[in-house]
Amino acid sequence: MADIFDKINNLKGNKMCFGTERVRFLLDKLGSPDDDLKIIHIAGTNGKGSVAEYLTRILVAAGKRTGTFTSPAVLDNYEQFKIDANPIEPTKLSLYLDKAIESGGECTAFEIMTAGALLAFREENCEYAVLECGLGGLNDATNAVNKKVLAIISSIGLEHTEFLGNTIEEICAQKAGIVKNCPLIVNALQPPQARIFFEKMNAVFADKALKANFEDDIARFTYDGECYETSMSGNAQPYNAATAIEAAKFLRIDGKAIKEGISRAHLCGRLQIFHRQGRTYIVDGAHNPQSFGPLADMLSRFKRADVHIIFGCLADKNIDGNLALICDKAASITAVEPKSPRAMRLNKIVEACKRHFNTVTVADSITEALAKSQGTVVVCGSFTLVKEAINWIENVQ
């Protein structure tokens, strides 16, 4: 049987196309599954996936059957569709996605997946559905749902400006489009313009006193007088966790479940650390300057001479802004072109690397780069690279 995602990616209407009308029509044809779910919708530039993971784990710890739909995929497409923090069984998920395809007409792949996810969550008797926006908010397919119990906005930054606007305020307006007669909770890790924008919306900020301490691969932090622990790496994670904590308190989840959920949270490919054969590998799907900040902070804990970076990115990314944040954290860098039709060409990646690093090498593939690398190895710039890197690292003997 052909993989369901091959079928989805070959759809006639498969292209980037914004708006909620098509997916709303599709949801109605499927019996409006979103109407039977308590929907929590998350938008933002950075940290959406982390907030979704924390909140999912909290709800599961509280005994709430929870469906979660996130993007992009890191290792495989199935990981985007979870119930109680575990991927839906592939055969079962394929049935729901096939139903969405049959009714989908000219819907795009992402619209089919959005509708299929909501159908799966209803049919599998979920109480809650945690939805992560694909791009923006106002015109994102996930915003086609009729009602929500809560809207959440993670950290805001300048990205996808060709679609969302050229200023922080314009991007905030797009993200704020997810607020539909529901309360709004906002991550406190914001530029000043974003904070002013969301304050005018009477948003609740996750900004009660927060103090964090990072030891090895664990972050311990206090928020609103309570102590928490997370294994998710990066100095932004206590802020992401605090956002989920505020959301959980609004949903009247008890404190024990909140602490348990925060401690169990885990995300693939986001500042993920591997220790293999006495070596350290760090993989991070960071792809804009704001998200490179936590990576730069982590690398400050290592000796610069021991760190080697493997880097590649997509054509629409701020490559100089990204590299500027990590160029003083590593002794060398290897340029690799991601295996994506949207990849930045290798010659442009190399040129940018030479503007920021004295020692630059080139590899034809991520596996070649990893096989030749020494010291503490960092793979960053694209989830496409991260996927290949994790597959290689996990098979190191």
**Distant-in-sequence contacts of 344-347, Cβ < 8 A, 24+ apart:** 344/312, 344/313, 344/314, 344/315, 344/317, 344/319, 345/315
Q: How far apart are CA 86 and CA 68, in angstroms?
A: 9
pLDDT per residue as tens digits for the range 276-301? 888 899 999 888 888 898 899 899 98
pLDDT at 165 over 70: no
Q: How far apart are CA 377 and CA 275, in angstroms?
A: 11
pLDDT at position 397 is 47
Q: How far apart are CA 262 and CA 160, in angstroms?
A: 30
Report the topology of domain 272-393.
Answer: Protein-Tyrosine Phosphatase; Chain A (3.90.190)
Class of domain 4-264 (CATH, top level):
alpha beta
Average pLDDT across the chain, whole number: 92
pTM of the model: 0.90
Check for a shared fold between 4-264 and 272-393: no
Nearest to 80 by CA among 270, 267, 258: 267
pLDDT per residue as tens digits for the range 5-35? 888 888 755 566 778 999 999 999 999 999 9
Least confident span in 2-6, 53-57, 88-92, 386-390: 2-6
Least confident span in 1-15, 64-78, 166-180, 356-370: 1-15
The ranges assigned to domains in the chain are 4-264, 272-393
Q: What is the mean pLDDT of residues 221-230?
A: 95
Cβ distance 296 to 280 under 8 Å?
A: no
Top-confidence residue, 291 or 185? 185
pLDDT per residue as tens digits for the range 108-132? 999 999 999 999 999 999 999 999 9
